[in-house]
Structure 1
Amino acid sequence: MMGSGQEERARLIVYEEDEMNQGFKRRVWEESKRMWAIAFPAMVCRVTTYGAYVVSQASFGHITQVDLAAYALVQTILVRFSNGILLGMASVTETLCGEAYGAKQYDILGVHLQRSWIVNSAVATAMVPFYVYATPLLRVLGQEEDIAVAAGIISLWFIPVLYLNVYGMTMQMFLQAQHKNTVVTWLFTILFFVHALLSWVFVYIMNWGLPGVMIALIIAFGVKVLGEAIYIFGGWCPVTWKGFDRAAFAELMPVLKSSTSSGVMLCIQVWYNAVLVLLAGYMKYATVAISAFSICLNVSTWELMICLGFLGAACVRVSNELGRGNGKAAKFSVEVILYTSLFIGIFFWILCLAFGHQISYLFTSSEEVAKAVSSLSVPLAFSILLNNVGPVLSGVAIGCGSQGLVAIVNMCSYYVIGIPVGVLLAYAADLEVKGIWIGMMCGMVTQTIALLYITWKIDWAEEVKKASKRLSHF
Structure 2
Amino acid sequence: MGRLLSKIREESKQTWSLAGPAILTGTFQFSIATVTAAFVGRLGALQLSAVSVAQGVIAGFAYGAMLGMGSALETLCGQAVGAGQFHMLGIYMQRSWVISAATAMVLTPLYVFATPILRLLHQSKDISEVAGKYCGWIVPQLYAYAVNFPLQKFFQSQSKVWVVTLVSGAVLGVHALLNWVFVSKLGHGLLGAAMVENVSWWLINLAQMIYLLAGFFPESWRGFSLSAFQNLGAFGKLSLASAIMLCLELWYYTAVVILVGCLKNPEIAVGAISICMNYEAWTLMVALGFNAAVSVRVSNELGANHPKAAKFSVVIAVATSVLIGIFFTAVVLIFRKRLAELFTDVPELIRETSKLGYLLGATILLNSMQPVLSGVSIGAGWQTLVAFVNTACYYLFGLPIGAVLGFKLELDELGIWTGMLIGTAAQTGVLLLITARTKWQKEAMQAEERVRTWGGGGIEPRVPTQ
Q: TM-score range by the shorter chain?
A: over 0.9
Residue 4 of structure 2: aligned partner: 24
1:409 alignment partner, one of 389, 392, 404: 389
Asked if 2 retains the 8 angstrom alpha-carbon contact of 1:231 and 1:237, the reply is: no
Residue 436 of structure 2: aligned partner: 456
Residue 57 of structure 1: aligned partner: 37
Residue 72 of structure 1: aligned partner: 52
Residue 308 of structure 1: aligned partner: 288
Residue 268 of structure 1: aligned partner: 248
1:202 alignment partner, one of 182, 187, 190: 182
Q: Which digits, 9 at most, give the CA deviation of each residue in 1:1-29, with x for residues without a partner?
A: xxxxxxxxxxxxxxxxxxxx111111111
Residue 333 of structure 1: aligned partner: 313
Structure 1 CA distance for aligned equivalents of residues 20 and 239 of structure 2: 25
Give the alignment of 1:76-95 within 5 angstroms: 76-95=56-75
2:369 alignment partner, one of 367, 374, 389: 389
Give the residue type in structure 1 aligned to 2:240: T
**Alignment root-mean-square deviation, CA:** 0.9
Residue 461 of structure 2: aligned partner: none
Asked if 1 retains the 8 angstrom alpha-carbon contact of 2:329 and 2:365, the reply is: yes
Residue 223 of structure 1: aligned partner: 203
1:172 alignment partner, one of 131, 152, 162: 152
Structure 1 CA distance for aligned equivalents of residues 337 and 235 of structure 2: 46
Deviating more after overlay: 439-448 vs 292-301? 292-301
Asked if 2 retains the 8 angstrom alpha-carbon contact of 1:190 and 1:224, the reply is: no
Residue 451 of structure 2: aligned partner: 471
Q: Structure 1 residue 311: deviation in Å? A: 0.4
1:436 lines up with 2:419 in the alignment: no
Structure 1 CA distance for aligned equivalents of residues 256 and 159 of structure 2: 37
Structure 2 CA distance for aligned equivalents of residues 184 and 467 of structure 1: 28
Structure 1 CA distance for aligned equivalents of residues 121 and 156 of structure 2: 39
Residue 459 of structure 2: aligned partner: none
Structure 2 CA distance for aligned equivalents of residues 100 and 450 of structure 1: 28
2:140 alignment partner, one of 157, 160, 167: 160
Asked if 2 retains the 8 angstrom alpha-carbon contact of 1:184 and 1:228, the reply is: yes
Structure 2 CA distance for aligned equivalents of residues 191 and 79 of structure 1: 20
Give the alignment of 1:291-306 within 5 angstroms: 291-306=271-286
- Runs of 4 or more off by more than 3 Å in structure 1? none
Structure 2 CA distance for aligned equivalents of residues 446 and 37 of structure 1: 31
Of structures 1 and 2, the larger Rg is shown by: 1
Structure 2 CA distance for aligned equivalents of residues 324 and 434 of structure 1: 47
Asked if 1 retains the 8 angstrom alpha-carbon contact of 2:73 and 2:150, the reply is: yes
Give the residue type in structure 1 aligned to 2:347: E
Give the residue type in structure 1 aligned to 2:211: Y
What count of residue pairs does the alignment treat as equivalent?
454
Could you tell me which runs of 5 or more consecutive residues in structure 1 were left unpaired when the two chains were aligned.
Answer: 1-20
Residue 233 of structure 1: aligned partner: 213
1:281 alignment partner, one of 261, 265, 268: 261
* TM-score normalised by structure 1 residue count: 0.94
Instruction: Give the SS at the match of 1:165.
Output: helix
Q: Structure 1 residue 416: deviation in Å? A: 1.2
Structure 1 CA distance for aligned equivalents of residues 61 and 171 of structure 2: 22
Asked if 1 retains the 8 angstrom alpha-carbon contact of 2:260 and 2:269, the reply is: yes
**Identity across aligned pairs (percent)?**
41
Structure 2 CA distance for aligned equivalents of residues 279 and 180 of structure 1: 40
Could you tell me which runs of 5 or more consecutive residues in structure 2 were left unpaired when the two chains were aligned.
Answer: 455-466
Instruction: Give the SS at the match of 2:224.
Output: coil
